[in-house]
Structure 1
Amino acid sequence: MLNRRKMLQAVATGTSAALGLSLVPQPLFASSDQGRTPKRVIFFLQNQGFDPATCVPKGMQHSGSLGNAKLPEPIQDLEPFKDRLHIINGLHGQHTSPSHSAFFGALGGYRGGDGVPPSAATIDYEISKALPQTLLPHLCIGMDSIENMTSKPTLATLSASGAGSPIFMYSNPNQLYQTLYGGISTGDIRRQHEARSNVFDQIEKLATAKGQTLPTAEQQRYSQYVNGFQDINGLRDRLATVSDHLRQFAPEVDERYTKPEFETDWHDALLDLGISALTSGITNTLTIGSGRGEIFGAWKGLGIDQQGHNLGHMKQPDNPIWIKIRQYNCRMLVKIMQSLENIPEGSGTMMDNTLIVYTSNNADSQHTNGANWPVMLLGNFDGAFKTGCFTQLDGKRPINALYTSLLRAAGVTCDRFNMTDKLATKFDSSTGPLKEVLA
């Protein structure tokens, strides 16, 4: 299995991650996972909080069906998909210290904060391990302002493979495209891919030789970077074996990539690459960070001049700015669903075996204590989750309980996710998954 932690450590030092895609319903499993039912999970986190008034239908105070409910304006694009939607209100994340952002704690269910390293693996990474293993089980993409995405094309704030082991998200679609499709491209993209591949090969050989002369304590740390190059080079070779599969569906590089007018051009290109990674069968877990888990972000392409932290100080309900941002998110969700729905899989479609988890990296609002952490689920993950309904909880169960539910649905036996019994005594009124969400 590909070691994502080591691969992404190498990325952090100036290398690029390697992935792959296509739209053919052909899951490219690792050999040990042949014959397993393909499933996939998408995590979509919008920064600055998710006010429940922007997703809970007006007047709906108790759990019930969404059948006759009218969705609020910010999520109105999901109206045709109500039968696949589950809105959850009343989870909490007080133990994560979300405030401006819980950072790794949002998907980890533990204490986070600016500059605080991850204390354990996050739920997206754990899910990627539990699902049938593909060539690249986990892809993270991050959307921000053009300036931030250009100056920091990779950033780690949301996902982690373990304590002190962040996973980087990719924010420059040009770099991501070259990594994905460089081997089957022509012209400048192909030349850049070959040049980078040669450099990676030489660096791996040189680093392997030089590392042997280091003190023992340093060799262990140094070997992580050496292994990162080995993983990148190995994945490049594996992708070459499915080049015909990739060539059929490589997206066209247009001016959104090379001459973006707004940052949303790059957002849209990144989303297309993420969808392609899913529909190709090369990845099974996608994490999208709109705002990249921080307090920044820009959406000038939506006609919004304000950006960054200022957006977090604006009330979201009935705010035309936040309505535009949330509707933009929902259009992205719809695009994901429709793309997966268009591809047959088993007796249904890819969407039938998929779950989308939409929430924020800092609960309900900026400067929050995390007492309420709204979540929307889309899809039923091959019948594992209830849909077409609204669930109102009492605020006594943490987001960890939802993550336990995800793991249970993926076939992992567990009663708690990243929460000790001592911590649960204070922050969890029960144990095991949320019975309200599982079918």
Structure 2
Amino acid sequence: MLNRRNLLQGMAAGVGAAFGTPLIPNQLMASPVSNTTRKRVIFFMQNQGFDPKTCIPTGMSSSGSLAKAKLPEPINALEPYKDRLHIINGLHGMHTSPSHSAFFGALGGYRGSDGVPPSGPTIDYQLSRALPETLLPHLCIGMDSIENMTTKPTLATLSASGAGQPIFMHSNPNHLYQMLYGGIASGEIRRQHEARSSVMSQIERLAAAKDHALSKSDKLRYDQYVQGFQEVNGLRDRLASVSDHLRKFAPTVDTRYTNPEFETDWHDVLLDLGISALTSGITNTLTIGSGRGEIFGAWKGLGIEQQGHNLGHMDQPDNPIWIKIRQYNSRMLVRIMEALESVPEGSGTMMDHTLVVYTSNNADKQHTNGANWPVMLLGDLDGAFKTGCFTQLDGKRPINALYTSLLRAAGQNLDRFNMTETLAKKYDDATGPLKEVMA
């Protein structure tokens, strides 16, 4: 049933996704089955920290091959993919002041805090601009409790296109499906898509004509919202122009969308939508926020009754609750890799030209100083990164150095990401990418 409240929520979700995320109007995506190779990067951010003991094989304290190692129980779903896995320990994020969460600072490599706007672009956005153009350069999805995802279908705490310019995460899969595939749907989804499209077009026309009485500062802010509506409407038109292509990739809508039993039903279908956006070529950069970059999150579908802040006060190693959460994450990572592996691209598959970055928005644990920030990489981004190994660093290089490495692999020739020389003198003892992880 389409009502005014649902319509306005959907409009807010659409504008939120576009605001701060410029879309490319002049180029349609190439088919993934062509001979063109397109690099892509996926960020999976689990909240409440990433304890290194949950990912480093027992007995490994120095860098080496994973070939004969047995992965810990929390990530044992990745055992068949060890040759594509790189576990990194010893990066730091002390300058981000994480505590409960580094918020935008986790992907920005700068100081972040609750309620503090981003001070610059985050690495996922920067990569979306450096990688080959797509219809929607950057897609963010956020997983949380069903209550939070319902009442707050969009939230911005992880990604940003610049200082004071947050990028919103989609948390309601119904809204996201309508945005991506409403034009090729039928029935109620199609009716909602058409009604929302009509209203959005009217709002864009009215908004563009009503700013003459505003002050200069208000007009600037108003123009940003007008641009947001223009981008949403432009995205809808561009998706419609490749509708035949999109039909091959659109997920099937089932009761998990409309009548989820647990929040994990929505987590699963949000992941399906993110994967479809990658395999269809709609986007080249996907950010997944499990816990949405805050201290929340719920996994009742895994048999876990505890949720939110309390989870962060539990030790993660050998904890059956955190083993379940991390195993669930690992199965999601496997689903991403298997989906990309199934799509031919160039002389190989999409996974050959992809990198998955798995870490936390909060270093190693809740109430952390950020002295250790474990990361797992899956894939090699067309041969740019080493795989099948564990790398132990000395704690003297920040997460910014990893982000510099990612941008180098995407063709950007820079020595630092979001770190001034003054800040680097205190927090980074080298310049450029991490030579230990680059191939």
- TM bin (shorter chain): over 0.9
**1:421 CA drift (Å):** 0.6
Task: Note closer, same or farther for the CA distance 1:16–1:425 as it changes in structure 2 (3 Å cut).
Answer: closer
Task: Note closer, same or farther for the CA distance 1:36–1:347 as it changes in structure 2 (3 Å cut).
Answer: closer
- Work out the CA distance in 1 between the residues paired with 2:36 and 2:73: 40
DSSP-derived class of the 1:210 partner: coil
Q: Which amino acid aligns with 1:48?
A: Q
Task: Note closer, same or farther for the CA distance 1:55–1:346 as it changes in structure 2 (3 Å cut).
Answer: same
Number of the residue aligned with 1:436: 436
- Work out the CA distance in 1 between the residues paired with 2:348 and 2:250: 25
- Work out the CA distance in 2 between the residues paired with 1:206 and 1:12: 17
Structure 2 contact 262–301 (Cα < 8 Å) conserved: yes
- Work out the CA distance in 2 between the residues paired with 1:233 and 1:218: 23
What's the TM-score once normalised by structure 1's chain length? 0.93
Cα RMSD (Å): 1.6
**1:261 CA drift (Å):** 0.4
Task: State which drifts further: 64-73 or 204-213.
Answer: 204-213
**1:247 CA drift (Å):** 1.8
- Work out the CA distance in 2 between the residues paired with 1:323 and 1:115: 30
Number of the residue aligned with 2:70: 70
Task: State which drifts further: 250-259 or 210-219.
Answer: 210-219
- Work out the CA distance in 2 between the residues paired with 1:216 and 1:299: 47
Number of the residue aligned with 1:400: 400
Are 1:192 and 2:184 an aligned pair? no
Task: Note closer, same or farther for the CA distance 1:242–1:341 as it changes in structure 2 (3 Å cut).
Answer: same
DSSP-derived class of the 2:157 partner: strand
Q: Which amino acid aligns with 1:371?
A: A
Q: Deviations over 1:50-74 (max 9, x none)?
A: 0000000001000000000000000
DSSP-derived class of the 1:127 partner: helix
- Aligned ranges 1:28-47 → 2 under 5 Å: 28-29=28-29, 37-47=37-47
Number of the residue aligned with 1:122: 122
**1:186 CA drift (Å):** 1.1
- Work out the CA distance in 2 between the residues paired with 1:364 and 1:69: 22
DSSP-derived class of the 2:209 partner: helix
DSSP-derived class of the 2:244 partner: helix
- Aligned ranges 1:378-397 → 2 under 5 Å: 378-397=378-397
- Aligned ranges 1:154-193 → 2 under 5 Å: 154-193=154-193
DSSP-derived class of the 2:338 partner: helix
**1:15 CA drift (Å):** 4.2
Gaps of 5+ in 2: 1-9, 19-26
DSSP-derived class of the 1:160 partner: strand
**1:248 CA drift (Å):** 2.6
**1:252 CA drift (Å):** 1.4
**1:37 CA drift (Å):** 3.5
Query: Number of residue pairs matched?
Result: 419
**1:216 CA drift (Å):** 2.9
Q: Deviations over 1:350-390 (max 9, x none)?
A: 00000000000000001000000000000000000000000
Number of the residue aligned with 2:246: 246
**1:180 CA drift (Å):** 1.2
Number of the residue aligned with 1:21: none
- Work out the CA distance in 2 between the residues paired with 1:115 and 1:230: 28
Number of the residue aligned with 1:356: 356
Structure 2 contact 17–169 (Cα < 8 Å) conserved: no
Structure 1 contact 11–17 (Cα < 8 Å) conserved: no
- Work out the CA distance in 2 between the residues paired with 1:87 and 1:231: 38
Are 1:135 and 2:113 an aligned pair? no
Q: Deviations over 1:69-110 (max 9, x none)?
A: 000000000000000000000000000001100000000000
Task: Note closer, same or farther for the CA distance 1:16–1:375 as it changes in structure 2 (3 Å cut).
Answer: closer
**1:12 CA drift (Å):** 5.0
- Aligned ranges 1:12-411 → 2 under 5 Å: 12=12, 15=15, 17=17, 28-29=28-29, 37-411=37-411
**1:214 CA drift (Å):** 2.1
- Work out the CA distance in 2 between the residues paired with 1:207 and 1:372: 48
- Work out the CA distance in 1 between the residues paired with 2:83 and 2:261: 37
Task: Note closer, same or farther for the CA distance 1:35–1:165 as it changes in structure 2 (3 Å cut).
Answer: farther
**1:235 CA drift (Å):** 1.2
Task: State which drifts further: 182-191 or 156-165.
Answer: 182-191
- Work out the CA distance in 2 between the residues paired with 1:437 and 1:15: 38
DSSP-derived class of the 1:211 partner: coil
- Work out the CA distance in 2 between the residues paired with 1:47 and 1:309: 10
Number of the residue aligned with 2:23: none
Structure 2 contact 159–168 (Cα < 8 Å) conserved: yes
What's the TM-score once normalised by structure 2's chain length? 0.93
Task: State which drifts further: 179-188 or 320-329.
Answer: 179-188
- Work out the CA distance in 2 between the residues paired with 1:359 and 1:12: 29
**1:184 CA drift (Å):** 1.0
**1:215 CA drift (Å):** 2.8
Q: Which amino acid aligns with 1:134?
A: T
- Work out the CA distance in 1 between the residues paired with 2:37 and 2:182: 30
Structure 1 contact 45–290 (Cα < 8 Å) conserved: yes
Number of the residue aligned with 1:23: none
Task: Give me the identity figure in percent.
Answer: 80
DSSP-derived class of the 1:86 partner: strand
Task: State which drifts further: 62-71 or 246-255.
Answer: 246-255
**1:200 CA drift (Å):** 0.6
Task: Note closer, same or farther for the CA distance 1:403–1:16 as it changes in structure 2 (3 Å cut).
Answer: closer
Task: Note closer, same or farther for the CA distance 1:411–1:145 as it changes in structure 2 (3 Å cut).
Answer: same
DSSP-derived class of the 2:45 partner: strand
Q: Which amino acid aligns with 1:390?
A: F
Task: Note closer, same or farther for the CA distance 1:75–1:94 as it changes in structure 2 (3 Å cut).
Answer: same
Q: Deviations over 1:12-34 (max 9, x none)?
A: 5874647xxxxxxxx9439xxx9
Gaps of 5+ in 1: 1-9, 19-26
